[in-house]
Amino acid sequence: MRVSPETRRGSGVPALIARRLLPPEGPAQADVWIQGVSVGEVELAHTLALALRAERPDLPLLVTSSTPAGVGLLGRRFRDLSPPARLQPFPLDLPLSVRRLLDSAGPRLLVLVETELWPVLLGAARRRGLPVLVASARLSERSARRLRAAGPLFRGPLSALSAVAARTPEDAARFAAVGVPGGRIHLAGDMKFDRPLPPEPPFADRVRALAAGRPVLVGGSIAEEELDLALSLPSRLAAEGCAPFLLLAPRRPEAWNEAALRAESAGLRVARRSSTAETGPADVFLLDTIGELASAYRLGDVALLGGTFGKRGGHNVLEPLLAGIPVVLGPSTSNIRRTVEAAGKAVVEVTGPAEAARALARLLLSPGARGEACEAAGDLFARHRGATRRTVRLALDLLDGRAGDRA
């Protein structure tokens, strides 16, 4: 695997910014440049890269990411890709930085995953005649309002978008409302539905040993303000007649140590993924690593979804559903509303902690309810697969100069 030096040297934020300011002039050019801002987008970039290589096995690829977590995941996700992709941080949206990477890589197609509207980059792409595809494109109503308010400032960058592969009809309508010509907008669907079931994580046996027969509750992508709720669930559920083992995955690395301290303050014994030394029995397994949550869901009997009990709008609900476990979520679901409504019995919506505990207890005590949730999740994926195939078709048409505005 060809990994640029910046993916190996230093992981601190200042070092990453320096490498984004002056992107290295790597030896390998790339026909397709795929950008995913962080972990979730890198996962989709990997899905897309595999599909592109299935069509064209020798297609030269450049894959970038913007955050330390995303850059770190590049090497792990793309390690087995052959021929290797060129991997490095995404340049800062400054003329020198953007020009340096475009000159070095010489891409013939730029693919931006989800929502990546960088004015300098898009302006440079327009001037060079470089086609731009937004894959699994999403645009919230809030972002659409900001773009409309910006008026002429974003008119030029938006005109650089050659094709928008929208996730939903709502996303398609918002891109049209901010000025993307309707002939360039395609309803392709969400590539997250096409991700394969990940293998069990390397710590699977360790978690099963620590759980010691207890059902496993996965608290996934838990925000800082949701930590106390998640950590209260073992005692709340014990009162309901089932005491689970908690696999806790905070959303942000900055919360890992805080989560451990709060768990210990609550009288819970903690084992950390990053620790190689077991300290004996545990009540909580703290997933303090990046990129392992999707596989960790496979160890769960039920999941509590983070980002839904505050004002964040919900995080990735498809990962636990792909693992076939029911999901309990709070009232804040604006980011995932369409998926929640389509998921049926695979999800349970609650209003607060007490109701969440009752819903989790019912699911943990009822194999029949969990079976119905698993079946509903399978139906959901069966209905929505195919976005990656449609996106690849758009990408190859652009790469070959066949795509244009639809009438």
CB 165 within 8 A of CB 391: yes
The residues pairing with 135 across neighbouring beta strands, listed in sequence order, are 113
Tokens matching residue 407: 């009438």
Q: How far is CA 306 from CA 187, 224, 247, in A?
A: 28, 10, 13
For the record, the structure tokens of 127 come out as 């001037």
Closest CA to 20 of 43, 4, 39: 4
CA atoms lying within 13 Å on the CB side of residue 276: 0
* DSSP result, 82-142: SSPPEEEEPPPSSHHHHHHHHHHH--SEEEEESS---HHHHHHHHHHT--EEEEEE---HH
CA dihedral 13, 16, 17, 22 (to 10 degrees): 170
- The 8 Å CB, 24+ separation contacts for 330-335 are 330/305, 330/356, 332/307, 332/308, 333/308, 334/140, 335/140, 335/307
**41 in active site:** yes
Contact (CB, 8 A) for 163 and 129:
no
Catalytic residue chosen out of the listed positions 6, 41, 114, 226 = 41
Report which of 186, 193, 138, 182 is spatially closest to residue 395, judged by C-alpha positions. Answer: 186
Q: Annotated active-site positions, please?
A: 41
